[in-house]
Amino acid sequence: MLPKDVTASGPNTAPVITSNGGGATASVSVAENTSAVTSVTATDTDLPAQTLTYSISGGADQALLSVDASSGVLSFVSAPDYEAPTDTGGNNVYDVTVQVSDGNGGTDSQAIAVAIINVNEAPVIGNLSGRQSPTPG
C-alpha cells in the first residue's frame, strides 16, 4: 500500500480587527484639510496564513471615504473642510463601516466615526484694487 498525503484543516477562523481599540465601533479624530484617516489592521490565526482584504461595507458617509484593499489605509476621497462639512449630519462626524475578509468566508467589521478637528487657518489678504490702501494702525 502506498502512503497518501493527507491535509487536515479545521474550521475557518474569522479575522479580527485590532486597530483603533478593536471592537465593533471606534472613533478617530482628524485635522481638517487632511485626507489620511487611520490604518485599519486585523489578525487572522488560520494556518496557512490567509490574505486579508479590506473594503468599505457601509456607513452614512461611505461614498466620501476609501480604503486600500491590501493595506487597510482609510482616507477621505477629498480632504474635509471643517467650515463646510459634507457629512450626512452636517456635524463634521463622518460615519463609515470597514470590513476585513480572509477570502474563505471569515469577516469582521468596525463602524468608525471620524470627527473633524477645526484648525486655525492663516487669514488671507484679498487683492487690493483701485485706490484702496491699507489703513495704518
Is residue 130 one of the residues assigned to a domain? no
- The pTM (predicted TM-score) of the whole model is 0.82
| Domain count across the chain | 1
Boundaries of domain holding 99: 16-117
CA neighbor of 87 nearest in space, from 32, 36, 40 = 32
Cα–chain center distance at 97: 8
Is residue 101 one of the residues assigned to a domain? yes
Residue 84 has a pLDDT of: 98
Query: What is the grid cell recorded at 101?
Result: 475578509
Phi, psi of 63 (to 5 degrees): -70, -15
Helices (H), 1-137: none
Residue 131 has a pLDDT of: 62
Is residue 137 one of the residues assigned to a domain? no
Is residue 107 one of the residues assigned to a domain? yes
Is residue 88 one of the residues assigned to a domain? yes
CA neighbor of 54 nearest in space, from 91, 95, 24, 17 = 17
Ordered mean pLDDT values, 10 residues apiece, the chain (137 residues) = 58 95 97 98 91 98 99 98 98 99 97 97 74 63
CATH code of the domain in which 104 resides:
2.60.40.60
Residue 124 has a pLDDT of: 78
- Residue whose C-alpha cell reads 489703513 in the numeric block: 135
